[in-house]
Chain A
Amino acid sequence: MKIRSLHLRLLLSAGIAVFVALAVAWFAMTWLFERHLERRVAADLMRDAKPLLANLALAPDGKPLARNPPIDARFAVPVSGLYWQLSTAAGSERSRSLWDQTLPASHDAESGQWTQRVVIGPFGQRILLLERLVRLNRQGPPVLVQLAHEEATLHRARDEFGHDLMLFLGVLWAVLCAAAWAQVRLGLRPLGRVRRELLELQRNPAARLGADHPREIRPLSQAIDDLAEARERDLLRARRRAADLAHSLKTPLAALSAQSRAARRAGAAEAADGLDRAIATVSATIEAELARARAAAARRSQGSATASPLQVAERIVGVVERTEAGARLVFEVDIPAALKVPVDSDDLMELLGALIENAARFARRRVRIGAHQDADTVNLGVEDDGHGLDISVEQAVLRGGRLDEAGSGHDGLGLSIARDLTEATGGWITLDRSPLGGLLVSMCWSDEAGAI
């Protein structure tokens, strides 16, 4: 199974690595502890051997005599686990603790130095046996001096130590895991920032990750920035080409209209009708493409621009008042002078232009353009006293479809341009019935959509 979370993967590997290291440490330390215990026991046995050796004598029959046995009480208690024994060929003398048992005979004990081995001894016990050959004089028989300590007590001590050590290492493992967790969190935090910045980049293609990252992350952020830059350049070029193409088609279309009229004059009315239909379709496509290019450009500059809706609305009203539809209308502009919306002024001009022209087309007497700022949103509305929206358009809006596909021609296109631009700048648009009687188009931007 492949673990997808980098966080979990690092934590798990840290946990396992620390566990293995602590387990090895536990084995090594208990083994060292056991060796240390054995050395201590051997040293104790040698110390006990000293009085034995100092007062060693031989009986006339050649048996060894312990005139000054070790004083440790355990030598006197049967099966205590602590034993001594002196042996010659003639016989042996041993501690009371051995009772009726003997320590195993030795074949390789040397004179002059202690040797040590672990064997099965009296009472079936595993014992640590220390032994040495001693000659009381040059001619005398060798005396085998043996002292033993049962191993079980050593093992018990080792096990107790191992148990305590395990508890301690367990706590240490938990602490190290917590430290690893903190380290992983801290180490991966820059990636979280990269993720947030990528989300911002997705929202606003003009945003960049920047160079303010740890050295290890910088190549990544730089590569992403380069990619975003290249992608934006390509997109921009493509859009500009599309917009240029759309613009450049308009004059030939006007020329084509001229040809259509010439054809009509020459009596080819059917051909002229066909041409006119084709021209209308291409014109609508061009307008939609230009609106898309404009929305894309607005999305690119989102968050960096603000505009005064009062100024823009007044300038547009100045134009619309001169059109045939606008000349008979009263335009009420009710916008606080200091109010700003997070939209570039050219985009706001297209946005309000489309809506005010639309309102002027359907208004009876009045068009009202108002704006106000709430606690966390800024609202801009365009309303008229006309007949309101067609049901088909309203349904298209509810369905979330494109307004220009709602089959109401120019009416829909203006609203569609406005919606594309509003959404591209982080706002949203709603349609409602105006108190004046016609359509009320409201645009809202939250404070977070940009500096207001």
Chain B
Amino acid sequence: MRVLVVEDDPDVATDIADALRDAGFIVDAARDGEDAWFRGDVEDYDIVILDLGLPRLDGLSVLRRWRAAGREMPVLILSARGDWTEKVEGIETGADDYLAKPFKMGELIARVRGLVRRAAGHASPVLRVGRLALDTRRLSAALDDVPLRLSPLEFRLLDYLAHQAGRSVSAGELAEHLYGVSETGDTNAIEALVARLRRKLGPDVIETRRGFGYHLAGGEP
């Protein structure tokens, strides 16, 4: 696993690099935004850890350039500011996760592993049902090729329904799949989740079949 650590503070950069090496990663380091952008553009990394306050080119601009050039590796943002405006901007620019300084190294390693696992887990990343396309790598959906952002839970619900080949699935079964064990009241959470998905995807993508459950119609073209 190759990881690019972009951090201008030498102590922090060395610490992260050491910890990642200990965790079995191959680590490259960049100290400024220009260098980071160049490396990320020409080499393939499994994940990038990107500080936002960088000399020469700020972290968000680097991320924007990568995404504009179609570089889709997972990016975990590190920032000293830690306010929500910056978090939201980072995620909306295309980051996959966010960690505020000072952080616990254990948490950083766990998040890096989680992102790598998520990105690498799907051999065939795109699944199509009707007008709906599920990108299993970026956990996103597209309806008529218009991208929609989904939460991991929403994605897992759609993914499960998509794999049922037209079968209707009850709320109880969905709860059991999503939460492991189904408890009283979990079907309410499933109803709320479906309502939220319908708001994002339109009313006809997930149909309710009375007495049977939910069915992914994908919105007939």
Stretch from B24-32, B35-43, B90-98, B129-137 at the A interface: B90-98
Q: Are B19 and A316 in contact (CB under 8 A)?
A: no
* Residues of A contacting B84 in the complex (Cβ-Cβ under 8 angstroms): 316, 319, 349-350, 352-354
Assess whether B111 is interfacial by the CB under 8 Å rule: yes
In the bound complex, how far is the Cα of B189 from the Cα of A323, in angstroms? 19
CA A326 – CA B111 in complex, angstroms? 13
**Chain B residues within 8 Å of chain A by Cβ, number:** 45
Question: Which residues does chain B contribute within 8 Å of A362, judged by CB atoms?
Answer: none
Chain B neighbourhood of A257, CB < 8 A = 15, 102-105
* B19 lies within 8 A of A328 (CB): no
B12, B82, B185, B193: the one within 8 Å of A255 (CB): B12
Residue of B nearest to A315 (CB): B88
A319 touches B88 (CB 8 A): yes
Q: Please give the distance in Å from A311's CB to the nearest CB on chain B.
A: 11
Interface mask (B69-104 → A, CB under 8 Å = 1, otherwise 0):
000000000001111110110011000111011111
B53 surroundings in chain A (CB, below 8 A): 251
CA distance A332 to B194 in the complex (A): 10
Whether A327 touches B153, Cβ cut-off 8 Å, given contacts A261-B105, A353-B87, is: yes
Residue-wise, chain A 243-265 has the 8 Å CB interface mask toward B (1 for contact) of 00001101101111111011000
Interface of B is mostly: helix
The B-contacting residues of A in range 366-396, CB under 8 angstroms, are 366, 368, 385
Report chain B residues within 8 Å CB of A324: 110-111, 114
Interface string of B149-167 (1 = CB under 8 A from A): 1011110000000000000
Which B residues are CB-close (under 8 A) to A328? 152-153, 178-179
> Within the assembled complex, what's the spacing in Å between the Cα atoms of A273 and B214?
52
Q: A254-B102, A255-B11, A318-B149 are in contact. Are A330 and B114 (CB under 8 A)?
A: no
Q: Within the assembled complex, what's the spacing in Å between the Cα atoms of A331 and B104?
A: 27
From A254, A321, A323, give the contact of B101 (CB < 8 A): A254
Which B residues form the contact surface with A (CB < 8 A)? 9, 11-12, 14-15, 19, 53, 80-85, 87-88, 91-92, 96-98, 100-105, 110-111, 114, 149, 151-154, 178-179, 185-186, 188-190, 192-193, 195-196
5 contacts between A and B (CB under 8 A): A257-B104, A319-B84, A322-B152, A326-B151, A330-B153
Footprint of B on A, CB under 8 Å? 247-248, 250-251, 253-259, 261-262, 279, 283, 287, 290, 294, 315-319, 321-324, 326-333, 346, 349-350, 352-354, 365-366, 368, 385
